[in-house]
Every structure is written in structure tokens, then in C-alpha cells.
Structure 1
Amino acid sequence: MFSKDEIVKSVPQKGFFGHPKGLMSLFFTEFWERFSYYGMRAILIYYMYYEVTQGGLGLDRTTANSIMAVYGSLVYMSGIIGGWIADRLLGTTRTVFYGGILIMLGHIVLSFPGGITPLFISMVLIIIGTGLLKPNISSIVGDLYSEKDVRRDSGFSIFYMGINMGGFLAPLIVGTVGLEYNFHLGFGLAAVGMALGLIVFLLTKKNNLGLAGSYVPNPMSKEERKKVLTQIGIGLLIVLVLGYILIQQGIMTIDVFTMTVSILGIVIPTLYFILMYRSNRTTADEKSRLLAYIPLFVSAMMFWAIQEQGSNILAQYADERVNLMIGSFKISPAWFQSLNPLFIITLAPIFAWLWVKLGDRQPSTPKKFSFGLFFAGMSFIVMIIPAYMNGTETLVNPFWLVLSFFLVVLGELLLSPVGLSATTKLAPGAFAAQTMSLWFMTNASAQAINAQVVKLYKPETEILYFGVIGVIALVIGLLLYLMTPLIQKYMRGVK
């Protein structure tokens, strides 16, 4: 185990826009990983509910939306496993590499024609692979900086821009190929993207990352490893056998499965907070910071519950409710998935510059979160206006959807990169990677709850649907703002 100082000194501290050179390696690795993920996601909802004659699977829209939400939830929920593997077995860099391999295989499976079974096999591979890669690559970013380095929030904002550059290009390229030519060809392009990410990571990690991510923070003894791995193997076998029996008996339906995931989305993070808080490896200061982290966690859940509906409810809205003709030119509904990353690419440098410029005068983390929730809430409130003005039978001007995506991006830049940075600062030392996994559980829990919420969306309930969710976000944002002094007290010196 290396000290934080040794790790930071091993990384070239200049070489990428005034940031550590390792940020470049992680930036481009994550760029290609997100290209593959968002490319698949841009066409996945349409692949599920388009008719078989259109190259889809012909599922009904409510089922497709629920599957989409559960898939998104499990992608982020699996980060708990990835964090544990990195903390106890492999270290973060090796875990990232193996995760990329599984993601690539998942896209390859879906690139061949097939029915619902290849879809679920692909989802399982991508869920596990993303769980190994996603939280751990962000954790390596935290390793590049000392705890008091003022470039830290700015560095996470730049890293976040890399994520969104991949997310911007993917719907335009994969979305167009998937919808205009062939879904499976689009999924194949996603596999190529992940392969490129793995190549970048392998070729640059030795020179750019130093010791960052190369160590196992809380390694197991040989005896402990043998015992735990045996228990995990037995547990997986029991789950697989039980799952097979329940499916064969018709008990484990899609609805039952989505409800199970929704419950897990609440139970898992609750248990994790209790485990870390009660651990004898967690110091008194770290326990106080964990308590401060809870309202931030809940607020982030509310934010992602809105933001992640861009890939299912708003994707369906784009396909069915929006006038896609601009003059004689027809917009692809998949292209709206590029709006979120496009706005982030445009605005992230401004936010990164702003936090450095303000220095110690910038708003505290809880206040940034509360402002983020305000914009998220407003992104749904504005969706009421076209339905209120013209009803739900007429096609909507596409700029209403553009405005909604723009507002939620303002919230995302106030909350998401700041949340990543705050997590690395508030995390107990013995649970560093696992706490980063817990941050991604905010997204998992939000989408697990969404698996039930999206069932309520219909054109006739459109105003109520967007209005109620938007108002809830505004109320939680106000409460968080009022609680800021108390939260900062428990953060014990972390701003």
C-alpha cells in the first residue's frame, strides 16, 4: 500500500491542459467507453418497441420503458461489485481493463440478429462490465491529485467533458446507422468503440498513470480470499438455479423482476451506509462525513430520476410527440440523445473555469447540489407548457425538448462532477472505491424507482406526470439549501 503522497508524485503532474498527464489517458478511455454505451442506449428503446417488420423486437412501450430503466439501474448498481473487487482483489486499473472486455463482448452479442435472449445476455455482460469499469476509472482520477489540489474539481469537469464527447457522437453515428440502416450494425459500431477505449488504456497507462490505481487498498489474506470466493461461487450458483426455476414456473415475470430491482435500489445503498458507518476501519471524522453524504445522496437520486428519463420517456416523446420535420429535412429521434452531451461539452469548460476562478469563494457542495435540483425540476416543468397550450394530440415543436435537455444539463454540471469530487473527499479511506460505487448507486437507485414511475406515463397523464416530478425536485432542492449549514458542519472541513 502506497501513501497518497507517493501516488501523486509518481504521476506526471503537467501535460494535459495544466492537469496531470494521466487525465489524458482516462479522458480518452472513458470517451470510447461512453461512445459504446450511449451508442447502444440511443437505439435500444426503439429496438425493443419497434415492430419485428421494422427490425425491432415488438415489445409494448410500457414494458420497454421499464426494461430500459431496470437495465440502467443494474448498470450502475453493479458498480458496488466493481468497487469491492478493486478494493479487495485487483486494484482499480486491472478492474477497469477486465470491465472493458466484458462491455465489448456484450455489444458483440447484440450485433448479431436474434430475439429477446441475446438482448438479455448482452445486457448482463454490459451490466457487469460497466460495474467493473465505471466507478473505478473515476476513482483513478481522484488518485491523480492531492487532497488539497485546487485543480481537483476542474479536473473532474474536464474528465466529465470526455465522457460527454463520446456521448455526443454516439447517437449521431450509432443512432443514424441503427435507425436508418440496421439495428445490429449500430450495436456492432458500439463494440468497435469499446475496443478502441481498451487500446488507448493499454498503450498509455504505464507512462501516464504511475502508481495511480495500481494498488489494492484493502487486500484479503489468502485464507480470507479462498473463503469469500467460495461463498460467492455458491451464492451465484444458488441464484442461477433459483432464477431458472422461478422463470420456468412463470413466477419471475418481467414485472416481478422490475419490482425486485426497484426494492434493491433502496435496500442496497441503505445497507452500505450502515456497513461503512459501523466499520471499525471508519474513523470518527469519516463517520461524520458519511452522515453529511446522506442528504447529498438523496438529492442526487432525485436529480438522476429526472435526467435518466431522457433515454426512455423523453426518447419515446421524441419519437411520438415531436414534429421531426424541419422544412423538408427529417430529424432522427435518436439525435435528441446527443443534446445532453452537446450542452455539457459547450458548458463544462465554463464551469471548470468558474470553479478555479472563484477558488475558495465558490458555493459549497450542498448549495451546488440544490441549484442543480432546481434546474432539473424546471426541465420537467417546461414540458407541461406545450401540452397545456395545444393538448396532447398535436405534434410539439422540437425546441421544447431542446429546452428541457438544456435545463437539466445546467443542473448536471452543478451536481454530477461536483458529486464525483465530493465523494473522493468524503469517502472513508478503507472504502475508497466502494464509496465511489455508492455515488453511482444514486443513479442506480433513481432508475430502479423509475422502473415503476415510467409506467404512469401516458399522453393523457403527460401534464400531471411532468408537473408532479418537477415540483418534487424543486422542494427537495429548497430543503437541501436550507440544510446547508448543518451539512457543512458534519463534513468536518471538506468544502
Structure 2
Amino acid sequence: MLKSQDAENDFFKSNVLGHPSGLFVLFFTEMWERFSYYGMRALLVLFLTSSILGDNAGWGWPRENALAIYGSYTSLAYLTPILGGYVADRIIGYRWAVIVGAFLMTLGHLSMAFEFNPIFMYLGLCLLVLGNGFFKPNMTSIIAQMYEKHPEKKDGAYTIFYMGVNAGAFLGMLLCGYIGESPDWGWSYGFGLAGVFMLLGMLQFYFTQGIFGHIGEKPVYDGETIATANEKPEEAKRNPFSNFDLTVISIIAVIGLTWVINDPLSKITSVNLFNFSVGSMTGNTFIIIIALALFLFILVKRILQYTPVLRDKMIAVIILAFFTIFFWASFEQAGGSMTIFAKDYTARILEGNAKIVFNIVNTLITVVPLIVITYVLYKLFRQTFQRFTFGNIILAFAFIIIWSLVIFMLKAQYLTEQAEVPATWFGVLNALFIITLAPIFSRIWESKYNPFATYKNGIGMILLGTGFAVLAYGASGIPQGAQTAAVSMMWLVFAYLFHTMGELCISPVGLSYVSKLVPGRMIAIMFGIWYLAIAIGNKIAGTMGGMIDEITAQYSMSTFFLIFTIIPISLGLLIILLTPVMKKLMHGVK
């Protein structure tokens, strides 16, 4: 059996805002990791596509090439959690996996600070992908164990955790974006800043991990059964992977990894690993169909080996994951085509009254959320400072740096005669709206008005499509094939608002449903499967985003955004219609 959870370490007797203080240790650890991830992500496409000439020179890549490497990077960042989840589940435990992942990501960000050297840039991306694999699934797995006997509070806990995710994303895009885009600083400082906060996040977690008691430690197993609170004894029998299973999975992994890497490689260089054809199919198409067929085979084979009830619940997770693919394929345009739209098609130069209004608004949306997060930090200090002094000092030091950078940035913006809104600033809106709206959605999910999973997913998809409909309308005046334009900033603001509400309906509660539907012994692996769906969505996002020039040249910018309008809304209506089927598959899980 797994180690005792030490009577849950009296987690719910040490509360911060109605939840265990341990949740907020994870909140801040994840916040710094997301600071580094989104700070770097905000800069990547802009750096790759910026001219090789000028005060803040980039690499001057075509948009298609930049979005190919962006899609592959974000895709791989969600693929490696499958391996990281397995290693944590079977070998090192969740907590050490988080520490190892954070260390690798720190090295990755610092390597990218040497952006003038392609070797360091590619090495940095590789380290980030590997580190993310250890870090990402195991943070959520720790939460799943913490709330194992409190399933009614899981939706709210994951939504609060998701607020921490977006607090980090908000600060990362704001500060790394500002410093990286500024000719006075440059890309190296933007990438390097991301590494500094990843290091601080790792140290804060390491010196405060005692708060979790036995949760997340290296697993100890006894015999062939691993029963947990949310599964029946007859479902607790282990179902190990056979040698045949592992062989097929290895083949799928090799094919998938090679395909994801080959996409940007074939565009950036003359090397194409799949430079052949099978009938009318290209090598790329043929090889991915083979991988997909093998994946479906092994998935069905594994599911059939479980008891009927557990089998139904796993099918429910897979259906939700399928719709998640299309959500992220559209939503992740934020770091790709929407960033390009912000940079090249949006009016970002402000003067006079417009500049004054922007400075006031920017100050409010920066300072007010930071005050709220600092208040949460204060509440955590009151509960944990005496027991975990050094970890809290590191956390306080990180906030001193954050406040100093924010004050410096705002002061510099007020002193300029003309404001140029950074292209990365629009990405901040998503995180800002999350911070603002997450408590409201959390209350709804914990109330009697909490809708069923399919309604949440359906509404989320429809809201996402609505955001792209706003962009399609706003871009209607851009001439066919235009490379630049100057449409109003408000279209992007409204698009991000709708996208954020859609995200709150799907992403955080999706993790919660996975943890409710599968046994504790399978949590990290099933989170890995969930992240696989997100990885596929991210790669599709990069591929579709890379077609922005081709579609706008042949049709229009509005047509490009209409594609991302019609598909999500149609799928949203479909999953709502599947509600009766999903209720049967979920066997009473709400």
C-alpha cells in the first residue's frame, strides 16, 4: 500500500482563503514556472521573425518557419509529461520530479539568453522541453493527492491553482515581453529574466516541501495491489504494460518525436527525414497515419483490460481529451498568429490622450493584480513563515524583484512622449482576465449551479469561437494579402476576453475531471494522456498558424480567423448533445 498520508497532515486546519496552505505553496511555485514559460513564449516568435537589422535584431525568419518551431516546441512541452509522469509514479516521486524539472528549465532559459548563438538557442529549447516533462504533470498530481478525500473542493482548488498559473503568465509576458522587445535591453535579457524566476521558484519549492508531509514522496508499493480512496478493491489490481505494449508505445513515440522535429527542420534546412511518397500521400502524411493507427490500437487494447466501470470512465476522459485537442489548436494561436496580428496588423502607436489613457489603464491592470497576489503571499506567510522561513524569504525576494521591475517599467512608459504598446502586451490580457474571473468561476463550480462537464466544455468552445468571430470582423477591412495594417486594439482585447472565459470553462476543470475519473495510482499517467491531447493541439496550432500568409493571400485575414470560429462552435454544440452518453460513462462523477 502507499504510505499513509499522515492524517492528511491536517491540511485543512491550516487554511489560506479556505484551502490548505500547501495549495498556495504550489500556487507560487507554478506561478514562477509559468512566468518563465510564458515570458519566453511571448518572445520566441517575435525574436525569430524580427529583422536581422536594427537596434534589437532577431533572426529574420519567415512566419511559417517561426510558427513551425513554435508549434513543435509547445507540442513537445506537452508530450514529455507522459514520461515525466511515469518516472515520478514509479521511481522518484512527484516532489523530486518537480525539483529536477525546475532545475532543467532554469538551465534552458539561461541557455536561451545566449540567443545570438543558434546552438545555445536550440539547446535551451531542448532543456525546457525535458524539464517541463518532469515538472508539469507532477504539480497537478500533488494536488490530486491533497484533495483525495475532498473531491467536492477539487474544482475550486484547481481553479485557484489555475489562477496562480495565469498570475505567472501575466507577469512573465508583461516583464519579459517589455524587456525583450525594448532596444535598451534586448532579447537576451528577456530570455535571461525567465531563467532567474525559474531558479527562484525551484528554491522556494525545495525549502518549503516539508509542508506536504508524505504527499509526493517516492512511492512505496506492497505486492501487486495499489488501492486508493477513489477506487473499488476489484479495480485495484495492477495492469502492467506487456513487452508488446511497450514495444508499440516506443514505436509510436519515436515516430511522433521524429515527425514533430522534422516539421521545422525541413523548413529551416534542406533536411527532410520523410522525403518520400506512398501513392498520392506525402511521407509526412503517411508516417503520421501509421503512428495514429498504432496509438488507437494500443489505446483500445489497454482500455479493454480494465473493469467495465473503470473502462467507461477512461473512455469519458478520452472523449473530453479529443475535444481538448481542438480547443488548444485554436486557443494557442495566441502565441503564434495572434502575436503576428498584434505586431503587424494592429495600431500600437499611441499619442496624446490615447497615450495617457493607456498609461493609466496599464498601471491599474499591472498594479492591482500584483497587490492581490502580494496579499495572498502575506496570508501564506502568516501560516507558514515560522516553519519554513528560508523558503518564504526566497519567495519574498522574488516579489521584491517583481515590484522593482514593474515600477521601472511604468516609470519609463510615463516619461516617453509617444507610447508604443509592445506586441507581447496583448497576451497579458488573457492572464489578466483569468486573475479577474477565476474566483467567480470557482464559486460557480462549487455552487448548486455547477454545470455538467459536457456543458462546461461546450460553452467553452462556443466562447472561444466567438472570440475569433470578433477578430474576423475586426480584420474585415484588411486588404487581401496585406503584410501590414493598423486595426483597432479593441478587437484583440475583446477576443482575449472571450477566449479567457472559454479557457476557464475547459482547462482547469479538465484536470479536475481526470483526477476524479481515474484511480490515484493512474493519476500521473492519465495526466500525461491529457497533456498528449494538448500537445497534438499545440502542434496543429503551429501548423495552422503558419498558413496565415497563404490563406490571407488567397482569401483574406477574416477568412483565416473564420476557420477558428466555425470549428470550435460546431464542436461545442456537438459535445453538449453528447451529454446523456457522457453521464452514463462517468457513473455519477460530477
TM-score (norm: length of structure 1): 0.89
Rounded Cα–Cα distance in structure 1 between residues aligned with 2:38 and 2:293: 28
User: Of 540, 549, 569, which aligns to 1:474?
Assistant: 569
Correspondence for 1:412: 503
Q: Given the alignment, which residue of 338, 360, 367 partners 2:428?
A: 338
Superposed, 1:10-409 pairs within 5 Å as 10=9, 12-13=11-12, 14-53=14-53, 54-180=56-182, 181-206=185-210, 208-216=211-219, 250-252=271-273, 270=296, 273-274=299-300, 276-279=302-305, 282-327=306-351, 328-358=418-448, 361-389=449-477, 391=479, 393=482, 394-409=485-500
Higher mean alpha-carbon deviation, 54-63 vs 185-194, is at 54-63
Aligned to 2:579: 484
Q: How many aligned residue pairs are there?
A: 481
CA–CA distance in structure 2, aligned partners of residues 98 and 268 of structure 1: 31
1:259 Cα deviation after fit: 7.3
Matches of 1:466 and 1:278 in 2, distance apart?
40
Conservation of the 8 A alpha-carbon contact between 2:326 and 2:568: yes
Distance 1:466 1:219, change over 3 A: farther
Q: 1:202 to 1:317 in 2, by over 3 A?
A: same
3-state DSSP of counterpart to 1:333: coil
Are the equivalent residues in 2 in contact too, given 1:31–1:164 (CA < 8 A)? yes
Shift of 1:429: 4.2
Give the aligned residue type for 1:216: P
How far, CA to CA, are the matches of 2:300 and 2:133 in structure 1?
21
2:589: which partner in 1?
494
Q: How far apart are residue 302 of structure 1 and its match?
A: 1.1
How far is the alpha carbon of 1:297 from its aligned partner? 0.9
User: Contact between 1:11 and 1:211, CA under 8 Å: does it hold in 2?
Assistant: no
SS at match of 1:451: helix
SS in 1 for 2:475: helix
Q: CA RMSD in A?
A: 3.3
Write the deviation string for residues 161-212 of structure 1: whole angstroms up to 9, x where unpaired: 0010010011111111111021011111011010111111012110x21222
What TM-score, normalized to structure 2? Answer: 0.75
Residue deviations 1:243-297 (CA, integer Å, cap 9, x gap): 99x9999334999999799769956864663364144xx4332111011122211
Partner Cα distance (1:467, 1:322) in 2: 18
Q: Greater CA deviation, 451-460 or 367-376?
A: 451-460
Superposed CA deviations along residues 337-360 of structure 1, whole A, max 9, x for unmatched, are 1111110000001111222233xx
What is the rounded CA distance, in whole Å, between the counterparts of 2:478 and 2:492 in structure 1? 15
Contact 1:277–1:287, Cα closer than 8 Å, also in 2: yes
**Counterpart Cα distance in 1 of 2:106 and 2:462:** 37
Unmatched runs of 5 consecutive residues or more in structure 1: none
Report the CA distance shift for 1:399/1:264 in structure 2 as closer, same or farther (over 3 A).
Answer: farther
CA positional deviation for 1:494: 0.7
Change (3 A) 1:261 1:30: farther
Q: Return the letter of the residue paired with 1:101.
A: F
Distance apart, 1:450 and its partner CA: 2.5
Structure with higher Rg: it is: 2
Q: Distance in 2 between matches of 1:169 and 1:260?
A: 42
> For residues 444 and 311 of structure 1, what CA distance do their matches in structure 2 show?
14
Structure 2, unaligned runs of 5 or more: 225-239, 277-281, 352-417
* Partner Cα separation in structure 1 for residue 131 and residue 283 of structure 2: 21
Aligned match of 2:384 = none
CA distance in 1, matches of 2:512, 2:537: 20
Q: Is the 8 A contact 2:328 2:541 kept in 1?
A: no
The residue type equivalent to 1:449 in the other structure is I
Tell me if the contact between 2:460 and 2:503 (Cα under 8 Å) persists in the aligned partners: yes
2: distance between equivalents of 1:249 and 1:391? 33
| Alpha-carbon distance in structure 1 between the residues aligned to 2:330 and 2:537 | 8
CA distance in 2, matches of 1:317, 1:265: 34
Q: Are 1:455 and 2:546 an aligned pair?
A: yes
